[in-house]
Amino acid sequence: MSTPSSTAGGSPKSASTMFAKDLRDYQSNGLRLELAPFGLDKIYDYEAGGHYPVYFGDFLGTDYRYRVIHKLGSGGFANVWLCCDTAAEGLKYVAVKALMADMSTDDCPELRMAAKLKENYKDLCREVVKAVDLLHSNGICHGDLTPNNILQHIISLDGRPEDEVLRILGQPVRNPATSNEEPGHNLHTAPQYLVYPIRWEDVSITTVLPKPCLIDLGESYTPTQPPSDLGIPGPYRAPELMLDKTTGGFGADLWALGYTLFEMRTGERLFNLFDDGDNEYLEAVVEMLSPLLELWEKRKEWEVIADLLGKLLVFDPTRRISAREVLEHAWFRL
């Protein structure tokens, strides 16, 4: 899940404020890691209301059926673990998302929206635009539509012994946590170690299937009950979110969809900015979109996708075509 870029009141946090908070949390927690912390969840988030320490071999779930064997990733409010379903027939592996205590409520947006889409949830795995259309058709805005929230399926791990699963995905690497005062620690709220997620760049390409899946409904909302601010980062933010300080809607998703389609097709970002401030971003948008069609090579596919992007990346959110219209566009018929 993405990390919110603002306080609960909606005003952005400065880098110095966030850094100062990190220092306070670190000092109050009193823990440090022996290895580099990059790519890990924050050690100072292991406290009351935060992450719950999870270890290899732990059993998760209300009925303790999911045994932890690896870590899939981590986000602002949760860690995702690869687990063996001990209650299933044969060997079956599942992803278990463990939310921070303060975020783990019965009214959690992700659980609420997933329940609303339960009958059609598998359709989300077919293609990104169909997933967005499905959400919008059910009155739901994704709220954080970026390539980071589009995954690809991998070959089934079910039925494979654990040692084979770990050969495919790589052995998990631990980063021990120790106290500033003495080796080890005895804090009940803190873990003995953190776990680096799977290095997907090292996993064989034959393991990955060409089947996209849109994930992370943690920022999702209904247009009638928008959040005070969206956590969607940088250029995926529609211009009106900065110009009018609106709180989003379907149009904001469609802007992010256009940007995401460009990135998926080209492997490049539409805007490469040194500074992620609003002014530089808006200036880049104006410079890029005005001559959009002239930027593409005169080949049929480029002309057609330029037409599609030109209908999605529009300043006026009411003039952006819908996800259903995107599905019907000529580019998907080439």
Which residue spans within 57-196 are E strands per DSSP? 59-60, 66-74, 78-85, 93-99, 150-154, 174-179, 193-195
The pLDDT, as a whole number, for residue 184 is 57
Give the mean model confidence (pLDDT) for residues 227-233.
78
> Which residue has tokens 């959009």?
292
Q: Which region among 8-22, 104-118, 123-137, 237-251 has the lowest average model confidence (pLDDT)?
A: 8-22
Q: Which region among 275-279, 290-294, 312-316 has the lowest average model confidence (pLDDT)?
A: 290-294
Sign (positive or negative) of CA dihedral 211, 258, 252, 249: negative
pLDDT above 70 (res 26): no
Cα 292 to Cα 311: distance, rounded to the nearest angstrom: 11
What confidence tier does 123 reach under pLDDT thresholds 50, 70, 90? very low
Amino acid at 145: L
3-state secondary structure of 154: strand
Percent of the chain with pLDDT over 70: 76
Cα 142 to Cα 132: distance, rounded to the nearest angstrom: 8
Residue 311 or residue 127, greater confidence: 311
pLDDT digits over 59-108, tens only? 999 889 999 999 998 877 889 999 999 999 889 999 998 988 887 776 67
pLDDT above 60 (res 12): no
298 is annotated as contributing to ligand binding: no
pLDDT above 70 (res 284): yes
Give the mean model confidence (pLDDT) for residues 249-269.
83
Instruction: Work out the number of other CB atoms within 10 angstroms of the CB of residue 76.
Output: 15
The pLDDT, as a whole number, for residue 237 is 84
Q: What proportions of the chain, in percent to the nearest 5, are helix, strand and coil?
A: 40, 15, 45
Angle between helices 250-266 and 128-137 (to 10 degrees): 170
Question: Cβ distance 193 to 216 under 8 Å?
Answer: no
pLDDT digits over 126-159, tens only? 478 988 999 999 999 999 999 889 887 889 999 9
DSSP 56: T
What confidence tier does 124 reach under pLDDT thresholds 50, 70, 90? very low
Question: Cβ distance 235 to 273 under 8 Å?
Answer: yes
The pLDDT, as a whole number, for residue 261 is 84
Question: Cβ distance 252 to 235 under 8 Å?
Answer: no
The pLDDT, as a whole number, for residue 185 is 61
- What tokens were used for 23? 């220092």
Give the mean model confidence (pLDDT) for residues 46-64.
90
The pLDDT, as a whole number, for residue 29 is 64
Q: Which region among 102-111, 212-221, 252-261, 267-276 has the lowest average model confidence (pLDDT)?
A: 267-276
The pLDDT, as a whole number, for residue 302 is 76
Pairing of strands 78-85, 31-33: unpaired
Highest mean pLDDT among 75-79, 182-186, 262-266: 75-79
Give the mean model confidence (pLDDT) for residues 5-32.
43
Sign (positive or negative) of CA dihedral 114, 93, 67, 205: negative
